[in-house]
Amino acid sequence: MNNVPTFAYAGDILIVDDHLENLQILFSMLTDYGYEVRRTINGQQALNVAMSEPPDIILLDILMPEMDGYEVCRQLKSQKSTASIPVIFLTALDDELDKLRAFEVGGIDYITKPFHIKETIARIENQLTIQKQRRAIAQQNQQLKVQNLRLEELNAELVKLNTKLEQSNQDLEQFAYIASHDLRSPLQTILGFTQILKQKYHEAIDDKGKHYLDRVITGAYRMNKLITALLEYSRIGNKNLEFKPVDGNGILDQVLESLQAEIEQSSAVILRDRLPILHGNEVQIGQLFQNLIGNAIKYRHHHVKPQIKITVEQRINFEYLIGIHDNGIGICAEDFQRIFQVFQRLEHSEEYSGTGIGLAVCQKIVDNHGGRIWVESEENQGTSFYFTLPGEKTMG
């Protein structure tokens, strides 16, 4: 047949009609349009075919002997495997009641005889498109379900890993605490006896021996400092901290007082914004300021007067961003992460001494308070350390 459009998505259609003539008309009309068409002449046959190999759509005659179309449709809709197949009724009647009943038993549309080709095709295509879209949505839903399940699994794995990590962190801290605690007493023995050796056997030891002894003593002192720092670090993570409103200005006053000697010796100028009432642990917030301001003074250019600025900015939800800015020697960008790790110090001349634990302590303290800490710096120009801390609702 010429000029007949065939559809790209040709469906599989089952026609049920006891009039062979009707069957034949519909069959040739639909096959010409590219559909795959199966034919049955009674209800029971239609049910068997639909159940064993469900078609995309069923065209169902209403008036048939033995089992009429309504009953066939009712049975189709009551079976899980056939319930979703759209049923279009074929009717010669133009009766309101019949149509109503057709819809009641689950029919989706109807076509009246004699068949009008374009209308018939339009109605079939309409249902097939809906059917196709439904299938696509169901498939997408299924995929989403699978993805969701996978996400839930990943999440559960993450929670597990996190718990494990927390546990091993705690174990490590416990280990660091015990190790440094236990190392202390033999170290005290070494320090004590080398000093006795130096004093009591002063005459008996020659200059070379005294020089060696001095190096042992300096090494032992340094080790003592490192162990003390490690002990301090392993205690910081303690979960049972007391959190309360803390006056930032009061803390800063105390910190600057305890750094008075360094400030005077370096002639540092300190400019400070007014600090808010923070919410946290007083001792730890004090340590945080002490370490950062201590560094800002320590890592200075020796020919330049240190200028240190402490700035405050309020962020949303009463969170504060505090900055400690200096005009010191600066840090190269590739070391920005490393300096927050335990015992990580950058290459310096002898004049900048330290244990390399101060910033690791700062990191832990800020973590304990649910904040963030980071550094911005330019070599030889200066450094800004920033951290966020929770505040109380009233400004200090």
Chain positions contacting ligand ATP, by CB under 6 A: 229, 291, 295-296, 299, 326, 328-331, 339, 345-346, 354-360, 383
Smaller CB distance to Mg ion: residue 126 or 266? 266
Helix axes 69-78, 43-52, angle to 10 degrees: 30
CA dihedral 156, 158, 164, 169 (to 10 degrees): -150
Residue 354: CB minimum distance to Mg ion, A: 5
Q: How far is the CB of 383 from ligand ATP (least distance, A)?
A: 4
Please, which residue, 106 or 356, has the CB nearer to Mg ion?
Answer: 356
For the bound state, the minimum distance from the C-beta of residue 358 to Mg ion, rounded and expressed in Å, comes to 3
Q: Minimum distance from CB of 166 to ligand ATP (Å)?
A: 24
Q: DSSP letters of 63-87?
A: --SSS-HHHHHHHHHHSTTTTTS-E
**Of Mg ion, ligand ATP, none, which one does residue 229 interact with (CB within 5 to 8 Å by kind)?**
ligand ATP
The three-state secondary structure class of 233 is helix
CB of 382 to Mg ion, least distance (A): 16
Which of the choices Mg ion, ligand ATP, none does residue 34 contact, using the CB cut-off of 5 to 8 A by kind? none
User: In the complex, what is the shortest distance from the CB of residue 248 to ligand ATP, in angstroms, rounded to a whole number?
Assistant: 20
Q: What residue 120 binds from Mg ion, ligand ATP, none (CB within 5 to 8 A, per partner kind)? A: none
Of 30 and 360, nearer to ligand ATP (C-beta) is 360
User: Judging by DSSP bridges, how do beta strands 36-40 and 12-16 pair with one another?
Assistant: parallel
| CB contact set of 143 (below 8 Å; sequence gap of 6+) | none
Residue 343 C-beta: closest distance to Mg ion, Å: 12
Cβ closer to Mg ion: 33 or 299? 299
Contact set with Mg ion (CB under 5 A): 295, 358
Question: Which partner from the list Mg ion, ligand ATP, none does 60 bind, CB cut-off 5 to 8 Å by kind?
Answer: none
Which of ligand ATP, Mg ion, none does residue 210 bind to, with CB < 5 to 8 Å depending on kind? none
Q: Which distant-in-sequence residues (6+ apart) come within 8 Å of 154 by Cβ?
A: none
End-to-end CA distance of the chain: 90
Nearest to ligand ATP of 75, 295 (CB atom): 295
Tokens at 140, concatenated: 């997408």
Q: In degrees to the nearest 10, what's the CA dihedral of 388, 392, 395, 396?
A: -90
By C-beta, is 68 or 335 nearer to ligand ATP? 335
Q: Of 22 and 377, which CB lies nearer to ligand ATP in the complex structure?
A: 377
37 binds, among ligand ATP, Mg ion, none (CB under 5 to 8 A by kind): none
Which among Mg ion, ligand ATP, none contacts residue 299 (Cβ within 5 to 8 A by kind)? ligand ATP
Nearer to ligand ATP, 74 or 345 (CB): 345
In angstroms, give the least distance from the CB of 324 to ligand ATP. 8
Rounded to an integer, what distance in angstroms lies between the CA atom of residue 192 and that of residue 203? 19
Neighbouring CB atoms inside 10 A of 125's CB total 16
CA distance 147 to 6: 37
Shortest Cβ 341–Mg ion spacing (Å)? 13
> Residue 326 touches which of Mg ion, ligand ATP, none (CB < 5 to 8 A by kind)?
ligand ATP
> Quick one: which of 177, 312, 285, 290 has its CA closest to 235?
177
Tokens standing for 225?
């400092």
Burial environment of residue 250 by CB neighbours within 10 A (0 to 12, 13 to 18, 19 or more): middle
Question: Which is nearer to ligand ATP, 96 or 351 (by Cβ)?
Answer: 351
Cis peptide before 276 (omega within 30 of 0): no
The answer to whether residues 253 and 289 touch, using CB atoms and an 8 Å cutoff, is: no
> Closest residue (Cβ) to Mg ion?
358
Out of Mg ion, ligand ATP, none, what residue 331 binds, judged by CB under 5 to 8 A for its kind, is ligand ATP
Tell me the residue type at 223. M
Angle 91-96-97 (CA atoms, 0-180°, nearest 5)? 90
